[in-house]
Structures are given as C-alpha cells and as structure tokens.
Amino acid sequence: MSIDLEKISEAITKGQIEQLQEMTTQALDTDTDPGVILNKGLLPGMDKVGQLWREGEMFMPEVLRSAKAMSKAMEILRPRLSEGDLGSAGKMVIGTVAGDLHDIGKDLAGMMFEGAGYEVINIGIDQPNEAFVEAAMKHKPDVLGMSALLTTTMPRMGEVINSLKESGVRDQMAVIIGGAPVTQEFADEIGADLYAPNAGSAVDLTKKYFAQQ
C-alpha cells in the first residue's frame, strides 16, 4: 500500500509527531522516493504552517510542535536522500543577526532550503556581522540568508552587506533577507538581492532569481 503524501503534509500541520514518523518510514518501505516524500509531503505541510501562523490560525506551541515533527521526519529521511539530492542545488549559509535571538522563522526557512536541495549551514542566532562575513568566505555559499525579527536589529543586515562588499565577496552570492518586520522596500534600500515574506516563497524566488542570472 502506498502512502498518501497529503496525509504526510497534514500530519506536519497537525504536529502529529509519531504518526508522521510512522508514515515516513512506511513510505520509504514502500519505495516512495525520499525526494518526493520531502517535496510533496513534508515541505508543503511546513509551508502551510508558516501560512497559518501569519493568518493567526496557529499559535506558537503548535508551530513548534510542527517544527519538531518536521525535524524528526528529516532524521529518518536524511540518510536516504541520495548524495545527489543533498546539496545538489548549492550551498546556503543562514543565521539571525546580532542582538536578535529569534530563530523559529529562520530555522523554518533553513529547512525549506534543505528540502529544495541546498546544503544548509545554519550559523545560529545573535551572530555578529563578522560571523556572517567569515562564514561567507569560508563556505562560499550560493545564497546567504539573514533573519531579523526586531526593528532594532534589522539595520545589521545592511551592515553585513557592506562588510561583504568591503571583503570583495558580495557578488559571489545572492543575499536573501527575511523576518516579520522586513519589507521589500527595506531590502531594496540595503541592497539585498531578495526578500521573501515567508519561507515557502523564499525557495521559489531564489530559484527564479538564479534562472534569470
């Protein structure tokens, strides 16, 4: 019997951790392609979570439960995703800027990029500007993602972009920024390549961006 991928999405949205683990295992046992489970099951579920949060339909503990379900399912899936899938799309460095300790949205965004085939290097929260630049020089990512949830810490993103310029590496990567208070207008102002209002659209926008390059 094959597993209904929509049920997998639903288990994510509902935060049914055990059911999701079972279904993921079962799907693998019945030879469903791990990439398909991820892209057609887990990620649409997670995308929905981001959406329901914004609409005020889901509350914090539910979002966190869904995120936990997602990472548990990824534990099962990751070893089975072929080398080709992981990192096939490129590399991403992602982190939250200095003074800012919010990480739920950033981690969701990281998961979505991982799901889309990026090797994601998550440098964590409260990262000083230099840490972004160092990570950018060390890992040479295709995409550098920054998250800020406070209007007090948003300006750090512009500063990082300037430091990247000074270090001469700015043009080697696409810079994408996000977080609830961030706007397209702000992204344009500081010279980020991309802004995404949510994690789901971030991946699509990035794909489109590279397709046009």
Partner 1 sequence: MKKYNKTIIACRSVKTELEKVYNNQQNIKLVFMPQNLHRNPEKLTIRLQETIDKEAELTDAIVLGYGLCSNGTAGLKAPSTGLIIPKIHDCITLYLGGERNYTRLFHQYPGTYFLTPNWIDNKKDPLGLVENEYKQRVGFEMAKEAMETEIKNYNYIAFINNKSEHEDYYRQRTQENAEYFNKDFVEFEGSMDLLTKIIEGPYDNENFVKVNPNEFSKQSQFLK
Binding site for ligand B12 (CB under 6 A): 50, 53, 60, 63, 94, 99-106, 108-109, 145-147, 149-152, 176-181, 196, 198-199, 202
User: Closest CB to ligand B12 among 129 and 198?
Assistant: 198
Beta partners for 143? 92, 174
Cβ contact 49:58 at 8 Å: yes
User: Closest CB to partner 1 among 65 and 80?
Assistant: 65
Q: How far is the CB of 11 from partner 1 (least distance, A)?
A: 15
User: Closest CB to ligand B12 among 34 and 200?
Assistant: 200
Q: How far is the CB of 156 from partner 1 (least distance, A)?
A: 12
Cβ contact 114:145 at 8 Å: no
Question: Which residues touch 108 (CB under 8 Å, ≥6 apart)?
Answer: 46, 49, 50, 67, 199
User: Closest CB to partner 1 among 28 and 180?
Assistant: 180
> Cα separations (Å) of 51 from 44, 48, 54, 148, 201?
10, 5, 5, 18, 11
For β-strands 118-127 and 90-97, DSSP reports them as parallel
At 203 the three-state DSSP class reads helix
Residues that bind partner 1 (CB under 8 A): 15, 54, 56, 59-62, 64-65, 68, 99, 101, 103-104, 125-126, 149-152, 154-155, 180-181, 183, 185-186
Interacting partner of 161 out of partner 1, ligand B12, none (Cβ under 5 to 8 A depending on kind): none
Cβ contact 30:5 at 8 Å: no
Interacting partner of 105 out of ligand B12, partner 1, none (Cβ under 5 to 8 A depending on kind): ligand B12
